[in-house]
Structure 1
Amino acid sequence: MEQCEVLIVGGGPAGATCARVLAHWGISVLLMDRDEFPRDKPCAGWITPSVLETLRIDPAQYRKGRELQEIREFHTGVMFGRQNRYDFGTPVSYAIRRREFDHYLLLHSKSRNILGEEVRSLERTPDGWLVNDRIRARLVVGAGGHHCPVARILGAQPAREQPIAAVVAEFELDPGEQAAFPLPPGHTSLSFLDDVRGYGWLVRKGAHLNVGLGVLGGTQVRGRLDAYLEHLRRTGALPGTGPLPFKGHAYLPFRGVAGRRIVGDRALVIGDAAGLAYPESGEGILPAVESAILAAQTILCASADYRPRWLEPYAAAVAERFGGAGSAAGRMALPAPVQRLGTRLLLGTPWLTRHLVLDRWFLHREQRPLVPRALPE
């Protein structure tokens, strides 16, 4: 029988970050994931400098043997229309490969890990939880993404929610394609649907290319993807004509009090399991890392008393940190013709595109990085 104080379900950025903090401060923590690492993860795979700063990752050290492509320029516009270029001159974001990034964070978590085993059962006991009939924990932390079993224990019903549905492919360009590819390393292309419910992207990562599309509610995602790919190939923006290795995933944009319950008796959820993705961009890595740190700080302050009253400060901290992100819901409720007019005005005005769409929605340059008091150097 395995014993631990805290069991974290999910080894992605949220789970690994939470485990790193707790293990550093002497908490007996066990991290569990259904996959072996390194593993591929469907994701556009770009992060803002705040992610590296919050995690105290030295870019020069990280890129030794791993991809960390500086992003300095964005090409944006309405899908199937003309794109404008926005050169920031300095790195404002980084493209990473999730199989490398997630594995790096897991290795640095210093936690005990159980990999390649999914949660089959999660039962309450008088003093905590019994998982898979062989693991005892006083507290469970759900970091297993949109379908996390801990989130379900807290009442999440993924089938009844309206997530962002995304389809993503990442593949290596051959040397000829790399030389001829119109999007240089360090450049990212964003093509927005005219109803502002999603966008397609091309992210160049050295020898690799990431292409995908995300749509709120999953509305006709496959048909929209096919049309986007056909446009990219017709205009020479995407090489080849064969099938690409697409994978799908889903995640919830942050909706504040209308979103998921994130705290319960001896249980809480972080990252995508808590539904914390930024509504405009769909980015989930920064909210995953920040929510993991906020959760770890709450756990440390609870002093082994994991009743809801001692875990509620985490919910309050999340509301304070991400509360401004819920405003996108109102825009989505506007009539479709108003949405389309607004999208074309927004993306057709360079000042608005740069300072609202890119600086505010995608790069979060106005938001101060979280100062993680509990995170080890």
Structure 2
Amino acid sequence: MRSSKIFLLSNFNSFKRELIVVILFFFVCLQNIDLISFGGSSLKLYHFFITLVFLLGLYKFKGIPQKYGSIVFLFLVLYLKVFITSFIYGFNFLSFNYFFISVIFFIFITFFDNIDSIKVIRLLRVVVSVLLLYVFFNVLLNYDSVKLAQAQNIMFGIRPLIPNMVFGGGLNLESTWIAMLTVFFIRSRFFILAIMVSAFIAASYMSRTGFLISAIVFLFWFYDTQRLKFTFIQFYIFLPVFTLLGCVALYFILLWLDLPIIERFLIIGEEPGSNGRLDILSYIGKALVDSYFMGYGPGNVMVTLAKYGLDSDNDNVHNYFIQLLLDFGFMGFLVYLYFAWTYLNSRVIPFEFKMFFFLYLVGSLVQFRGAEPVLWFIVFAGLATKNGVKTDA
């Protein structure tokens, strides 16, 4: 009897850890709730809760487990670059975002190392379900604002905010995060519903990146669940041909429906958003050479490019790989690639977490400025898991 009580108590304590992880993740996603504003930045609700947990865990810290060596190396290189470049080019507030990421890392190695991946994934589905439903109904309730945003985007290339958004960074980033988070349903019977809601949000926000990531997630789901139902020739030869024909037919149907998201795909390279990115890229080569491939430190890139003559309202180069080169130099870029390679090739990190990081790398080709807490929270959760068993609930 006593042993059964101990077992139940142990399981309850374990479940509490996973529950706290997803509660913290929920707060991390609430990026538009400011507590204190100062200058162009603000102290947000998730900053407060994460910092509070960090302070509570200081006395419990016992060291960094060996399996986190690659992430520690990554942080050391990034912080060294921040320290050096801040003396030359100045210290930008974006650097605090990287320090905050290390606070999240500290919390995981202190409180949540060896958490149960199955429980975490199932609890994350609850959080993602809430986010999907909230954003979906927020789009419907504010559809007049959404239509206005669509029109202004097509005419002027601007992306105005709509009321009560969850994620920071505007329509495109909110749609992208939502699409990426659907990977936690990829082995769930609710996947189709989740991906349909994600695609609807991307189409409403006119987010090409969100729409493409939703399509990639769907293709991964299809491959993972359907490949064993076909012969080799059927799956790898006939099915791709029929899929291509289906996509062509779908394209003309959508074109006939005159959806704004399709129009955005058709004018790539011609509208202000694309032209702004091309203008930024034209200054990258000179900036890299002038920094001797050592970088300018996080947040200093656009200021530097402006000195070369770039006239842009953007706060990043809209390609995180190039951003890494300009922020942290060639060494920081290589260390990041090394970490990405080791993470994606790990045999112990569950598929959903690796897929999420992979999608971030895909999205990084056209957006993100770095040190995103949503990304690194998921990455650290994947590192902290103790198994990678399939989940199909």
Q: Normalised by the shorter chain, which TM-score bucket? A: under 0.3
Q: Provide the TM-score with structure 1 as the length reference.
A: 0.24
Structure with the bigger percentage of strand? 1
Q: Provide the TM-score with structure 2 as the length reference.
A: 0.23
Structure with the bigger percentage of helix? 2
Question: Considering only CA atoms, is the larger Rg found in Structure 1 or Structure 2?
Answer: 2
